[in-house]
Every structure is written in structure tokens, then in C-alpha cells.
Structure 1
Amino acid sequence: MKIAITGASGQIGSRLVPVLRADGHEVIRLVRRTPRTGDEHRWDPQHRRMDPSVLVDVDAVVNLAGASITPRPWTRTYEERLLTSRVDSTATISEALAAAAAADPGRPRILLSGSGISYYGDTADRVVTEDDPQGAGFMARMCAAWEDAAAPAGAAGVRVAFLRTGLVIAGGAPLMKVLGLVFRLGLGGRIGSGQQYWPWIALADEIGAIRHLLATDVAGPVNLTAPDPVTNTEFTRTLGRVLRRPTPLPVPEFPLVLALRDFGRCNVVGGQRALPTQLQQSGYTFTETSLEGALRTAVRRG
């Protein structure tokens, strides 16, 4: 396949590119700056500009572009940046794919487009699959708008799958950096009640799932989460064990919700007990189903 990647310099994209090349695929990277190598091509998602000819001979696009979500105080301006960066990037690539499909209608095309498990909102301890509806709050609305922006590609006959990704366990990930520092200082502990579910996935399985989806006929939403979501209490105890640090101090909910707004309510003091139903039904086999194993790998590589 010839595959185009957006967000190729990010945590997932930077790992995905060499893996796909090792699989024998030709990979091009879409960049916002002036291209420096032959495999780079310029696009301008902020102004929704892209030359569709770049995608005419492309078989698949993996769309991972969007401003990073980092543990920081949230403002309305920051929320708007998160939303517009995702919607603009997805709309730009989808419209270019639709134009490429019109220019060469005989080529089957695939769009694997980023999304988040926050689509479901805070679901407490209720199990959710891809059949569940959109939840409430900014994070859920952002994910829905993000997915809706891919409509032009779908209307043009492109197979579109939405990567509803959970907490990626990887060395160097912003949340892992923050949690690692807090725990190493001996200040780690459950957050709020600790009963909220944190749906996680090892980086190796995030990459493996994308490779799998390129080769299957799955379309629509796909939960990229490990088969065994854990509560925050379980997550905390496991990370403490991996780092050999005690976890005695519970963290109150109020300051986190005050600082992180809907992200805090939905993804920190809240969560999703999400299952990867579509992935497993389509035949994907996870390489890492143990949270402790995933955390040990992340700490070792962090």
C-alpha cells in the first residue's frame, strides 16, 4: 500500500511510520512546514488547504493530526484550539480524499481517522461498546465533531474507521511523565473515589490495531482500548508497584475539575469502562493485556 500519515511526528505517528515501512508499505508524511525530504508533502489544515493530487495514488490515510491534550489548566481558548485543530485537519484530509476519489474512482481507499474514547462521556461503571451513543460534555462533543468532519470521505466511498483511543501507555507520554514524577515523590494515590474506569492501551497495541485496521474491512467507530479496563484505584496501585512507591494519599476531585474542566470530569475523576468489541470481533489479538506489563515497558522506555 501507499499510505499517507498526518501527525507523523507525534507519539503514535513517529512509531507508526517505521513499522509500516518495515511491513513493506510506502509511507508519505503530510507536514505543515516546507518539506525537507522526498517523502514529505505540504498541507495547511489550519486554512483547509491541500492539493488533492498528493492523494490520487494513495491507498490509505492515517489521520493522527490535532493539538496534544496535556495535563494543564484548561481555558476556553485551549478547548477551542483542541476542537478546531481536530476538525480542520480531518475536514481537510477528507475533502482532499474525496477529490482524489473523484479523479481516480477505481481505487479503493481507506481513512483511519483519530478520535477518542471520550466520545461516550463519563460512563461510570457501565460497560460501553461501539454501539453506545455519544455522551455529554465538551470532550464528547469534540469527539463527535471530529468524526463528523470525515463525512466528505465517507460520502465519496472511502472506507472510514474512527480510532476511539483510550489512555495510551507509552514512555514519554505527557500523562505518564506527570504521574511518574508524582509517584516518585511519594505523592501518588487514587483520584477521588478511585472507582472511575481508566480505559488504557499499550502503545504496541495502538500501533498493532492500526496495522490490523488497514488490512480488514472494518468501518465506523473502533474502540482502541485493552480488553480489561481498570479502575483508577487499580491503576494507581499497579503504577505504585511498578515504581516501587507507596500510594497512600488520595487526591481530591475538586481542584482537578476546577483546573481541567470537562477533561477532568470526563477522563480523570470520571472515565469509561470501554471494551474493544470491534477490534476483537474482527480478529485482532492483543499483545499486551496486562496493565502492569504495559506500565513496566513504558517506564523502561521513558
Structure 2
Amino acid sequence: MEIRYASNPRDVKGYDGERLREDFLIESLFVKSELNMVYSHYDRLITGGAIPTDKPLKLEDKETLKTEYFLERREVGIINISESIGKVNVDGETYELNKRDCLYVGKGVKEVTIESADPSAPAHFYIVSALAHKSYPTKKLPIKEAIPTHLGSDAESNKRTIYKYIHKDGIQSCQLMMGMTLLAPNNMWNTMPPHVHDRRMEAYLYFDMDDQSRVFHFMGKPDDTRHIVIKNEQVVLSPPWSIHSGVGTKNYTFIWAMAGENYTFTDMDGVKLEDIK
């Protein structure tokens, strides 16, 4: 598991583009036949990607976590981001995930394995794990059962649909929040005007993009913004002090995941456009 350390915003002011990418962009989570994970010291969040082929992949890393099993002190959310059907085995019980279906697995589950229904057309799984102090039951939420929230407009180029999977009024968890935003065709902007939430960090996975599409992800203190250019199926870590907004060359989909102190989706501090620099 790769380790990423937290950064002071005063130090980040001096980063060039390469250093920004090294600290905040996760470029290669999704590799065939592998489970890859990154441990961030921002709220101890773990992001992972798995593409199982000929055999299941087990969720574990005893050496990094120093625990007997992965979810001994953690919870996890798993979303299938591919057209192929995937399966997650949770202590002997199997859950089938179609594209954009979400599975939450709580603290105390001892074995989680991930596999593809058809190894020749493997599924792509996105995995996010946060620390947990209480056990909540395993629960699957298919995209067709998730409640959509429609925001934005064509005039603002930000017409989008938000699905909240793991949150206060959805799948219950300790501190992990997780959901998905789909931009309508010909819409490219998300979260503008932006905001920060100093009580929790966030991770964005951008996907449903073709090889020639890019997202320009904006980060940094509101009065000192930077950008990172992102390809399909790449993740950006957003510190609590940073804005997190993006614009694409085409429409795209992204999964947002948060962990930290407050368990409230609307806990944010808005930033006025006139204060953005």
C-alpha cells in the first residue's frame, strides 16, 4: 500500500505542477489482476482500485495496518464503476454489483474478497475505507434504488444528478460518506462556486471518460488556486483546507468520498466567486 502524507497549505504554495501531482493525484489504481491501495494521512482514508480476473482479490494489508484483518477498525464502501458484473464476498455471503451499485461493509467483518462474474470481461471496483468505532450492517444499494437529487442547469453548464449512497439518511456508517455525481451531456462544471469543509477531507474518482477526455480539477486555498489535469479512472485527494471543483472537456462522472469529524453532507463553508483567485 502506498502512503501519502498530509501537507501544510503554506508549503503547497511553493509546489510546482509535478509536486502537486505527486502529493494529491493517484494515477494508477486500476490494474488488471491487482488490488492497489493508497493510505492518506488526511483522516486516515484509504482509496483503492481492483480489477479481478482469473481469481478473487482479497481486501487486506496486514503489514501497513498492523491489524489481524482489514476491517478490524475500519469500514469500507465499494462501487462497481464498469459495465461488467462484479461480486463481493463478505464473510461467506455474496453480493452482486452491477455498474454504479454500492456496497457498504462495516467494522468487524473478517474477510472480504472481490471477483468478476466473467474474468474475460473483468469488473472495475472502486474502494474507499475510513476508520470506524462502531459496527454497522453490510448493505447493498443499487443505483436504481438510490434517490437522485437534480442540480444545476444547461445555462450554467453544470446540470447534474447526485446519488448519495453512504450518508446520514442512506446507508448508515461511522464516518464514511460516499456518493456519485453524473453530469448530463454537454455539461462540464461541478461544484462551482466551490466550498471547503475544514472538518473533513474528500477524495474524487473521475471516470466514464474516453481516452481523449480530461478533467481540470481545481484545488488549493480559495485565494490561491491550482489545477491538476486528470484522466479516466484517476483519483485526486482533497485536503480539508482546499476547494475541490472541476471542469471537463466533456461530461463525466465522479465518485466523492469523505471522512472526518462531522457526519453531515451539508457541513461546508461556501466560497464567493469574487474571493476566488
Q: Give the alignment's TM-score, normalised by structure 2.
A: 0.31
Higher strand share: 2
Q: Give the alignment's TM-score, normalised by structure 1.
A: 0.29
Higher helix share: 1
State which structure, 1 or 2, has the greater radius of gyration over its C-alpha atoms: 1
Higher relative contact order (CA 8 A, sep 6+): 1
